[in-house]
Amino acid sequence: VPVGNKVSDVLSRILDLVETREHEVHRVLVVEDSATAIAHIRRSLSQHGIDSRAIGDPRTLLQAAADYRPDAILMDMYMPFCTGVEVTSALRQIPEYQSLPVIYLSSETDIAQQVEALRLGGDQFLTKPINPIILASVVRTKIERYREMLYSGRHDSLTGLLNHSTSKGQLESLLRTSSPARHLVVAMIDIDRFKSINDNYGHPVGDQVIRSLAWLLRGRLRNSDLIGRYGGEEFIIALPDADLERACSLLDRIREDFSQLPHAHARGALRASFSCGVAALPDYTTAASLIEAADQALLEAKRSGRNRLVR
């Protein structure tokens, strides 16, 4: 641990690492009324490094899903109180669970029943007895596809940063979890005279300038900071627990460094710059008002000459 680093910085880095590792864990919620089947399924999964939890009463599914946050559900067909098909259809009504993989594991061999289960929200139908290797492999594949789908729905493909709606959503959840006394700095960044970069050097060069800025921001900010591509050549940043003075000097150094960065084009290299508007808690307390205030500051930065930061 480098001397001089604040304990909170070190801790937040460690938390980032833990979160990354946690992301690699595959979590399966087993919905099954037979205790022997549960034991068998969970043993098969754990032998292949898949974490699981089981519920015997399908009526507790929503609570269990909220607590455990599974990456997939292994669903029995016939249980007391209701069928797997009934709980799956109910689950699919909830936006959060619309594409969570639901894999049936049942002794039902009737094709019509199986097709009906798939039609009403199941992703796959496996019949008991199942080979543990096949089970683990189907579960893993479904979870990986699901994660890829979630990832591409939340990220921007040009830069890999959070996309517009996800950045907004994450800013809102940052605000929900921050105490009124906490710091939170929001910055809006917009590349200067970007249209003329496109016009003079072509769209692919413009794209490369956008990617370079994303790369610079990612390198200079912490993993716990929010960085999103808010629009074409516009970025949003939220720095939780950041002191306004220090956040502004950090962003201003990034601005300065970006303005000196050479961007290659067919005839040589060009320089670009960005303007930045900053707003913070406690002056503004909602995501919408923080963004609006940072946008106003950004406009002021543009009006007063560009390549500068205004708060």
**Which positions touch Mg ion (CB under 5 A)?**
33, 76, 78-79, 190-191, 194, 234
CB-nearest residue to ligand GH3: 232
Return the number of the residue (56 or 99) whose C-beta is nearest Mg ion.
56
Closest separation in Å from C-beta 197 to ligand GH3: 8
Closest separation in Å from C-beta 111 to Mg ion: 19
148: annotated active-site residue? no
Residue 78 binds which of ligand GH3, Mg ion, none (CB < 5-8 A, kind-dependent): Mg ion
Q: Is the bond into 129 cis (omega within 30 degrees of 0)? A: yes
DSSP state of 190: E
Residue 220 binds which of ligand GH3, Mg ion, none (CB < 5-8 A, kind-dependent): none
Residue 33 binds which of Mg ion, ligand GH3, none (CB < 5-8 A, kind-dependent): Mg ion
State the DSSP string of 217-275. HHHHS-TTSEEEEEETTEEEEEEET--HHHHHHHHHHHHHHHHH-EEEETTEEEE--EE
Residue 207 binds which of ligand GH3, Mg ion, none (CB < 5-8 A, kind-dependent): ligand GH3
Query: Exposure pattern of 143-160 as b/e (b: 16+ CB <10 Å)?
Result: beebeeeeeeebbbeebe
DSSP state of 8: H
- Rounded Cα distance between 165 and 297, Å, is 22
Closest separation in Å from C-beta 185 to ligand GH3: 22
Query: Exposure pattern of 4-17 as b/e (b: 16+ CB <10 Å)?
Result: eeeeeeeebeeeee
Return the number of the residue (224 or 273) whose C-beta is nearest ligand GH3.
273
State the DSSP string of 46-102. HHTT-EEEEES-GGGHHHHHHHH--SEEEE-S--SSS-HHHHHHHHTTSGGGSSS-E
Site for ligand GH3, rule CB under 6 A: 158, 190-195, 198, 203, 206-207, 210, 232-233, 302, 306
Return the number of the residue (97 or 230) whose C-beta is nearest Mg ion.
230
Residue tagged active-site, from 32, 108, 233, 234: 233
Return the number of the residue (195 or 271) whose C-beta is nearest ligand GH3.
195
Closest separation in Å from C-beta 192 to ligand GH3: 4
Closest separation in Å from C-beta 236 to ligand GH3: 15
Beta carbons within 8 Å of 257's beta carbon, 6+ residues apart: 216
Active site residues: 233
